[in-house]
């Protein structure tokens, strides 16, 4: 769907907040990597068809290859005078089937999807089955035998709070801080054979959620001790190597402050990085 803005009255560049959902199975992550198929590349191609002229969009989170999103947020500025609903519909017409724009909102002219975010919430889904279930495998990690849920809940409490998570992942930029604040986390029973790990933090390291999930499942299996996990959380001492598969992870929600809090949030973001 093409729009010719030259035929319209002159319009101002507006800042927009886009809430995005995607199935990450066939993508090499969010961040643009040349012509490799990524979420950012596909979104920018669609925006350019509608007259977008900036060099790059900004995403709230840089999800890994194979990771999904129910509520990723991006920000971009563009000239558009057809209304937010038509912008959403035009973008969806230009996007592939495995990405969808759920909502478009006008934002403050300084809005930045990454730096203005207060927190991100991820969901990690697992299910228990002795055989693979193809209709579930793209979005969950199959585990067998099943795990002791009480042991998972018992160990998860150690991750809440402000910690140096260097044993759980790497920062987006070399030599930046690995300190993060986990605001909350919990294991939720979705069905008799399925669990969801829900974790909210101000920001995450690369691979951090998948590493946390993996170590919790290792503890529930008895292949790692509570003391080993505590050493990793408190002192950054590496524990049992391994990651939970990317397919079970979803960026669920990004939370933003009220407008009066935005400038304060930007000032403290350096600490989060």
What CATH number matches the domain at 119-256, 3.30.70.660, 3.30.420.40, 3.40.50.920, 3.40.50.300? 3.30.70.660
pLDDT in tens, 188-244: 999 999 999 999 999 999 999 999 999 999 999 999 999 999 999 999 999 999 999
Domains 9-107 and 119-256 share a fold: yes
Instruction: Judge residue 153's burial from the number of C-beta atoms within 10 Å of its C-beta, 0-12 exposed, 13-18 middle, 19 or more buried.
Output: middle
Per-residue pLDDT, 5: 45
Q: Residue 101 forms beta bridges with which residues?
A: 20
Overall fold of domain 9-107: Alpha-Beta Plaits (3.30.70)
Which residue(s) pair with 141 in the sheet?
126
Residue 64 falls in the annotated catalytic set: yes
User: What is the structure's pLDDT at 7?
Assistant: 44
Q: Name the strand (E) or helix (H) holding 17.
A: strand 13-22
Picking from 219, 98, 197, 199, the residue whose alpha carbon sits closest to that of residue 141 is 197
Q: What is the pLDDT of residues 110-129, one digit of tens each?
A: 999 999 999 999 999 999 99
Per residue in 170-192, pLDDT tens?
A: 998 888 899 999 999 999 999 99
- Residue 260 has a pLDDT of 53
Per the CB < 8 A criterion, the answer to whether 242 and 221 are in contact is no
Residue 186 to residue 90: CA distance in whole angstroms: 38
**How is the chain split into domains, by residue range?**
9-107, 119-256
Burial class (CB in 10 A: 0-12, 13-18, 19+), 130: exposed
Q: Which of 64, 138, 164, 238 is catalytic?
A: 64
């Amino acid at each position: 769907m093409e729009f010719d803005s030259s035929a319209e009255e002159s319009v101002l560049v507006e800042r927009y907040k886009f809430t995005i959902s995607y199935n990450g199975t066939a993508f090499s992550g969010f961040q643009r990597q040349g012509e490799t198929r990524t979420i950012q590349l596909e979104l920018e191609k669609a925006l350019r068809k509608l007259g977008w002229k900036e060099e790059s969009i900004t995403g709230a989170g840089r999800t890994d290859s194979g990771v999904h999103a129910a509520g990723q947020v991006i920000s971009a500025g563009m000239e558009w005078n057809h209304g937010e609903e038509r912008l959403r519909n035009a973008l969806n017409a230009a996007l592939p089937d495995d990405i969808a724009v759920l909502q478009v909102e006008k934002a403050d002219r300084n809005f930045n999807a990454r730096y203005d975010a207060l927190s991100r919430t991820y969901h990690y889904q697992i299910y228990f089955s002795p055989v693979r279930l193809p209709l579930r495998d793209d979005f969950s990690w199959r585990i067998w035998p099943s795990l002791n849920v009480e042991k998972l809940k018992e160990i998860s409490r150690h991750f809440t709070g402000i910690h140096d998570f260097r044993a759980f992942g790497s920062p987006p930029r070399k030599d930046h801080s690995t300190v993060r604040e986990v605001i909350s986390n919990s294991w939720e029973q979705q069905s008799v054979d399925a669990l969801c790990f829900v974790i909210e933090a101000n920001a995450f390291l690369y691979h951090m959620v998948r590493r946390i999930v993996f170590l919790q499942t290792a503890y529930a299996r008895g292949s790692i001790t509570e003391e080993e996990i505590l050493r990793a959380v408190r002192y950054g001492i590496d524990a049992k190597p391994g990651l939970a598969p990317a397919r079970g992870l979803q960026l669920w929600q990004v939370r933003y402050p009220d407008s009066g809090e935005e400038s304060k949030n930007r000032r403290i973001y350096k600490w989060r990085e």
